[in-house]
C-alpha cells in the first residue's frame, strides 16, 4: 500500500531546497530522512512511499547505488524517484545513470522544480495503474469511472467479461500463448467498445482473463453481440489445426482423469442502472460479479443481462429475469 511519506536521502547533510520543502507540504507528505541505501530499501519494501528524493548535488556514489537498488527490485521500482544534481553536463549525465524518474538541477527555478515533480507523480500514477500486458487501466480507474457515472445520472451498463476454459488452454499450450489470448481479448474489447461508443465507452483490466467494460445501456446488444461474434471468429486460430478441427482437446482434471475440453468461449455478465439505483461502485462490482458467474453456467460465448429490479428480489434459482444472448443473436 502506498503511504503518504517522502523518503529523503541527503548523505552529505546539505539542506533541503526550500522549493522542495514547500512542495512536500503542498502534497501533504511527511518527510522521513534516511542515511543509507539499506534504510531506503527497508522503508520502500515495508511501506511503499509516495516518492523518494535523492541528493546527488555533491556527486555522492551512494545516491547512484540507492537509486539503482530501488529500480532493480520489481516491488520498489515503481516508486517515483527524483535526483537533485549539480549544474553542468557531467553531474547531469551521472544523475541520468542512476535510473531515476526525474532529474532536478540545483539551478532549476522553484516553479519548474515543483511542476516537474508534479508531472513525475502524474506519470507514476498513470503507469502503475495500467496492466503491463494490455496497457488497460486497472481496478482503481474502473471504480473511479463507475463512481463518476453514478454521479452523472446517465444510463450505463457495467459488463464483466471472463474467459471459459482458459486455465485448460494454458495447461495444454503455454503461458506465452495464454498471454497472447489475453492481449487479443483486450484488443477486441477496446476496438469494439471504442468503435461503437467512442469516448462514452471505458475498458479496464481487472487481471488475468477478467475484464470490465462500461458502456451506455442502449448499446449493450450491439456492443456485446459484436464482441462475442468477433471473439468466436478469432479464438479458434489460437489452437493447433488438430484441435481446431476437433473443436476440443483432451485434458486432465484435478484428479488426473482425462476429459474433453472445449475451445475457449467468452462469458459476459451485464448489469445496468436502468431498473436499479446503485449507491456505490462496490455494489455495482458485486452484482456484476454475480452476473458473470451466472453467464459462465451457460453454454457457448454469451452475454447475460440482469433484468431484476430492487422491488422484485430474485433468488439464485429463479432464472426468468435473466436474459442472455449468444453470438448468433438467439435469446
For the stretch 143-202, pLDDT in tens is 999 999 999 989 999 999 999 999 999 999 999 999 999 999 999 999 999 999 999 999
d(CA 233, CA 227): 10
Q: Which of 48, 126, 47, 36 is nearest to 81 (CA)?
A: 48
Q: Which of 125, 94, 133, 278 is nearest to 211 (CA)?
A: 133
Assign a CATH topology to domain 3-129.
Answer: Rossmann fold (3.40.50)
User: Which bin fits 13, alpha (ψ -120 to 50), beta or left (φ > 0)?
Assistant: left
- Note whether 32 and 43 are within 8 A (CB): yes
Positive/negative CA dihedral, 29, 33, 36, 38: negative
For the segment 15-21, the average pLDDT, to the nearest whole number, is 93
Q: How does pLDDT run across 265-309, given as a tens digit for each residue?
A: 999 999 999 988 899 999 999 999 999 999 999 999 999 999 887
> What pTM value is reported for the model?
0.73
Q: Taking the C-alpha atoms of 295, 299, 300 and 303 in order, what is their torsion angle to the nearest 10 degrees?
A: -20
Residue carrying the nine cell digits 454475480: 290
Q: Break the chain into its structural domains and give their ranges.
A: 3-129, 139-326
Q: How does pLDDT run across 79-129, given as a tens digit for each residue?
A: 999 999 988 888 889 888 899 999 999 899 999 999 999 999 998 888 777
Q: Is the pLDDT of residue 233 over 60?
A: yes
Q: How far is CA 265 from CA 3, 231, 272, 299, in A?
A: 41, 8, 23, 8
Assign a CATH topology to domain 139-326.
Answer: Alpha-Beta Plaits (3.30.70)
Amino acid at each position: 500500500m502506498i503511504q503518504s511519506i517522502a523518503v529523503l536521502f541527503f548523505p552529505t547533510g546539505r539542506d533541503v531546497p526550500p522549493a522542495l520543502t514547500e512542495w512536500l507540504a503542498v502534497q501533504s507528505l511527511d518527510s522521513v530522512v534516511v542515511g543509507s541505501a539499506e534504510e531506503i530499501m527497508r522503508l520502500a519494501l515495508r511501506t511503499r512511499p509516495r516518492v523518494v528524493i535523492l541528493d546527488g548535488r555533491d556527486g555522492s556514489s551512494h545516491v547512484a547505488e540507492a537509486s539503482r537498488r530501488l529500480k532493480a527490485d520489481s516491488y520498489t521500482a515503481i516508486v517515483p524517484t527524483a535526483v537533485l544534481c549539480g549544474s553542468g553536463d557531467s553531474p547531469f549525465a551521472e544523475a541520468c545513470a542512476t535510473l531515476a524518474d526525474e532529474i532536478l538541477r540545483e539551478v532549476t527555478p522553484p516553479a519548474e522544480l515543483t511542476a516537474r515533480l508534479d508531472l513525475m507523480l502524474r506519470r507514476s500514477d498513470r503507469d502503475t495503474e495500467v496492466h503491463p500486458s494490455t496497457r488497460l487501466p486497472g481496478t482503481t480507474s474502473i471504480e473511479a469511472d463507475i463512481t463518476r457515472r453514478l454521479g452523472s445520472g446517465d444510463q450505463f451498463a457495467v459488463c464483466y467479461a471472463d474467459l471459459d476454459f482458459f486455465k485448460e488452454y494454458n495447461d495444454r499450450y503455454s503461458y506465452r500463448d495464454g498471454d497472447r489470448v489475453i492481449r487479443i481479448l483486450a484488443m477486441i474489447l477496446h476496438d469494439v467498445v471504442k468503435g461503437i461508443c467512442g469516448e462514452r465507452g471505458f475498458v479496464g483490466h481487472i487481471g488475468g482473463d477478467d475484464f470490465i467494460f462500461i458502456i451506455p445501456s442502449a448499446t449493450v446488444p450491439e456492443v456485446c453481440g459484436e464482441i462475442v461474434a468477433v471473439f468466436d471468429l478469432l479464438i479458434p486460430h489460437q489452437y493447433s489445426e488438430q484441435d481446431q478441427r476437433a473443436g476440443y482437446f483432451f485434458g486432465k482434471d484435478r484428479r488426473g482423469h482425462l476429459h474433453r475440453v472445449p475451445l475457449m468461449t467468452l462469458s459476459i455478465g451485464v448489469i445496468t442502472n436502468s431498473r436499479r439505483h446503485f449507491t456505490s461502485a462496490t455494489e455495482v462490482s458485486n452484482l456484476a460479479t454475480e452476473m458473470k458467474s451466472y453467464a459462465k453456467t451457460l453454454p457457448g460465448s454469451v452475454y447475460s443481462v440482469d433484468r431484476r429490479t430492487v422491488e422484485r428480489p430474485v433468488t439464485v434459482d429463479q432464472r426468468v429475469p435473466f436474459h442472455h444472448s449468444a453470438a448468433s443473436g438467439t435469446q
